[in-house]
Structure 1
Amino acid sequence: MFAFEITARCPSTRARCGSFHTPHGVVTTPRFMPVGTLATVKGVTADQLRHTGAQMVLANTFHLHLQPGEAIVQEAGGLHRFMAWEGPLLTDSGGFQVFSLGAINRINDRGVVFRSPRDGAQIDLTPERSMAIQMALGADVAMAFDQCPPYPASEADVATACRRTHAWLERCISSHTRSDQALFGIVQGGCYPHLREESARVVSSMGLPGIAVGGVSVGEPTEEMHRIVRQLGPLLPDDKPHYLMGVGTLREMAVAVANGFDVFDCVLPTRLGRHGAALVGGERWNLKNARFRHDHTPLDPSCPCPACSQHSRAYLHHLIKSEEMLGKILLSLHNITQLLRFTSAMAQAIRDGCFAEDFAPWEPDSPAAHTW
């Protein structure tokens, strides 16, 4: 049910194309995964999302537990029916909120106690509770509950987070009983190579259908992220999908694909869209700028999204300056489409045998940045 097959490889890097089979369809990799935290990719309908080329969407356990509650989603027939998304879904475990909401939680070996950011109520999240919520939500992939340490953190603190992450993974495996839902483990270890290596060994030994790398894009220098990716690529099981969590910039995805990673997620495309920014050819354009006021050309003539195929830069500038929600929606659709086109272009380059030349390493001024 959750088979992963490698369909092409780059002979001079670790880049590969794959097909990850789930109950709701196949995810072809490498592939960017849009983030729909509250069962919606912000401002985008499910039908619009399908037209961007998205195959798999991420939702969040912690936030859906707060609102509307997993019981409501289960009553609706599961997360797929609730949000009208027929394709594969993945739910983050709430582990990232252990990091992002550190000011309102307490962590111990049993789990994490939060104060709800909505009403101050106490929320007790353990590995067992995270699994119960994710099984009720019914996504195709559930993520193990982990402790994501901040950056910077001491070696002792990161070692403690790794120990908890591994112990919590065993508890997730014991309590996860839904056969039509894959459970992925998460490698932690911060910026300490020996802890990363040990975590990769432990999580890989569990024999799960997929494996993720967390604790990146949490404030560390970009060079550190690249070093972690290069270190872990050869250590992860080759026959499983590799998911790099929270990464969605072009260069970082290209570096990760070159080192054997397959799936990525990030809130960046919709966040930029809501702030009037567009991703074009590896650059970020602020559509509020006056230079677009009289520019009646498409935002990106090669892009098939509605913002580019139906409207001009001048119109998008007008919408953003007027604070019309349509402008934010169109730019969000465009940005999602851009990241999906980029990962699809990397896949095609792997199949064509030119990935190493065009994308590894990828830089904003390289030919590949303007041809995908």
Structure 2
Amino acid sequence: MTTRFNFTLQATDGAARTGVIDTPRGAIRTPAFMPVGTAATVKAMLPESVAATGADILLGNTYHLMLRPTAERIARLGGLHRFMNWSKPILTDSGGFQVMSLAGLRKLTEEGVTFSSHVDGSKHHLTPERSMEIQRLLGSDIVMCFDECPALPATEAEVAASMRMSMRWAERSRDAFGDRPGHALFGIMQGGVTRDLREESAQALQAIGFDGYAVGGLAVGEGQEAMFGVLDYAPGFLPVDKPRYLMGVGKPDDIVGAVQRGIDMMDCVLPSRSGRTGQAWTPRGQVNIKNARHQDDPRPLDEDCTCPCCTGYSRAYLHHVFRAREMISGMLLTWHNLHYYQQLMAGLREAIAAGRLDDFVADFHARRAEGDIEPI
């Protein structure tokens, strides 16, 4: 078992890359999809079930955990891994994105952000230094530096000012993180959809020096075309020998497009949130289990899928338990969705290693274009 954090690039196909991130808690195969465990749980899933889908790493949420149950309590109870019974790596975000979404409840200064808790209205002050302290108390393996993510649309001047403050915060985060062998700190590139600002941000981050680099400020409402437009150049501004993490992405076709453009890591609440709202993801696109067409259908969601949902349960049953608001509905659909996402990542890794990514992507889009199986 390694005692260090290390990234090894194993193969490339065009801009796409496959490799391994070694951490003291285990290896992360890239491209990697990280299920989101916002409040120290991937909703509707046992941790061992999440591992069984093929996930190598989870994402935890600094903002939510600092408010409840608090980072100090988690530290007293042995850290986040023990607290939530997850032995593999955990990445924690910095809290910046959640604070952005609290626009009406926050006050932003150069020092940091003061905001009111959405839980009980209590006042909190989050700075780069405090974010590093919280993530140290949680014991996460990959720590994100504290940044400000401007809500789009914004003027170029607003995006530039925000990005430059984030770069100053990145330096403060690096200083506060200190020397923590076996733990990694990632910087976050900002700059909206402006190429010059993205390049300036990437250069500023590399001057500080990080263990990995995230592309932030995307998947915030700009649309896939604009996001891919940025990803056509932004990963190229980052070091080849460090992991590249696209935050908050996304739908399966977003993931495939991001991997084609050189992204190594992604996270999104979509597979678990969709599962709780009756949406399933399959190679043939999305299935809405709420629809009456499924009520007499004895077939599985996907006859080629090996997850417990597809090997044990029919569409008719899934339709019934969703309509009846039974807890097992969200459990089965979330398991299926996470399994599908991890199978997609495994397929991408294999295709890149074999130099046949273009064929894989063509097949991916062709199967989605077929749409769901015909109703009975």
Superposition TM-score, scaled by structure 1 size: 0.96
Instruction: For 1:76-87, list aligned pairs within 5 A.
Output: 76-87=77-88
> Match for 2:252 among 236, 250, 253?
250
Residues 1:35 and 2:24 are matched in the alignment: no
Amino acid at match of 1:79: L
Per the alignment, in what secondary structure is the counterpart of residue 195 of structure 1? Answer: helix
Q: Deviations over 1:282-315 (max 9, x none)?
A: 5111101111111111111221211111111111
Q: Deviations over 1:179-232 (max 9, x none)?
A: 332100000011122111111121133221110011011010211100111111
Counterpart residue number, 2:177: 176
**Contact 1:242-1:262 within 8 A present in 2 as well:** yes
Residue 360 of structure 1 and its aligned partner are, at CA, apart by 6.7
**Contact 1:142-1:184 within 8 A present in 2 as well:** yes
CA distance change for structure 1 residues 85 and 369 in 2, over 3 Å: closer, same or farther? farther
CA distance change for structure 1 residues 369 and 33 in 2, over 3 Å: closer, same or farther? farther
CA distance change for structure 1 residues 66 and 364 in 2, over 3 Å: closer, same or farther? farther
Residues 1:237 and 2:236 are matched in the alignment: no
Unaligned runs of 5+ in 2: none
Instruction: For 1:357-368, list aligned pairs within 5 A.
Output: 357-359=359-361, 363=365, 365=367
Per the alignment, in what secondary structure is the counterpart of residue 363 of structure 1? Answer: helix
Instruction: For 1:1-372, list aligned pairs within 5 A.
Output: 1-10=4-13, 13-177=14-178, 178-359=180-361, 363=365, 365=367
CA distance in 2, matches of 1:7, 1:265: 22
Quote the sequence identity (%). 45
CA distance in 2, matches of 1:221, 1:268: 16
Per the alignment, in what secondary structure is the counterpart of residue 238 of structure 1? Answer: coil
Amino acid at match of 1:207: G
CA distance in 2, matches of 1:191, 1:353: 30
CA distance in 1, matches of 2:190, 2:274: 28
CA distance in 2, matches of 1:176, 1:115: 25
**Contact 2:62-2:95 within 8 A present in 1 as well:** yes
Residue 112 of structure 1 and its aligned partner are, at CA, apart by 0.5
Greater alpha carbon shift after TM alignment, 27-36 vs 99-108: 99-108
CA distance in 2, matches of 1:261, 1:354: 17
Residue 366 of structure 1 and its aligned partner are, at CA, apart by 6.4
Per the alignment, in what secondary structure is the counterpart of residue 233 of structure 2? Answer: helix
Residue 363 of structure 1 and its aligned partner are, at CA, apart by 2.9
Per the alignment, in what secondary structure is the counterpart of residue 205 of structure 1? Answer: helix
CA distance in 2, matches of 1:106, 1:361: 48
- The root-mean-square deviation of aligned C-alpha atoms, in Å, is 1.7
CA distance change for structure 1 residues 361 and 133 in 2, over 3 Å: closer, same or farther? farther
**Contact 1:16-1:257 within 8 A present in 2 as well:** yes
CA distance in 2, matches of 1:229, 1:76: 40
Q: Deviations over 1:117-143 (max 9, x none)?
A: 111111000000000000000010000
**Contact 1:248-1:339 within 8 A present in 2 as well:** no
CA distance in 1, matches of 2:333, 2:369: 24
CA distance in 2, matches of 1:360, 1:89: 33
CA distance in 2, matches of 1:256, 1:337: 19
Residue 150 of structure 1 and its aligned partner are, at CA, apart by 0.8
CA distance in 2, matches of 1:362, 1:259: 16
Per the alignment, in what secondary structure is the counterpart of residue 301 of structure 2? Answer: coil
CA distance in 2, matches of 1:361, 1:147: 38
Amino acid at match of 1:308: C
**Contact 1:116-1:123 within 8 A present in 2 as well:** yes
CA distance in 1, matches of 2:363, 2:117: 43
Per the alignment, in what secondary structure is the counterpart of residue 175 of structure 1? Answer: helix
**Contact 1:148-1:188 within 8 A present in 2 as well:** yes
Per the alignment, in what secondary structure is the counterpart of residue 232 of structure 2? Answer: helix
Residue 256 of structure 1 and its aligned partner are, at CA, apart by 1.2
CA distance change for structure 1 residues 282 and 188 in 2, over 3 Å: closer, same or farther? farther
**Contact 1:349-1:358 within 8 A present in 2 as well:** yes
CA distance in 2, matches of 1:40, 1:365: 32
CA distance in 2, matches of 1:361, 1:225: 23
Corresponding pairs, count: 368
Per the alignment, in what secondary structure is the counterpart of residue 365 of structure 2? Answer: coil
Unaligned runs of 5+ in 1: none
Greater alpha carbon shift after TM alignment, 302-311 vs 359-368: 359-368
Residue 368 of structure 1 and its aligned partner are, at CA, apart by 11
Amino acid at match of 2:242: K
Per the alignment, in what secondary structure is the counterpart of residue 329 of structure 2? Answer: helix
**Contact 2:24-2:182 within 8 A present in 1 as well:** yes
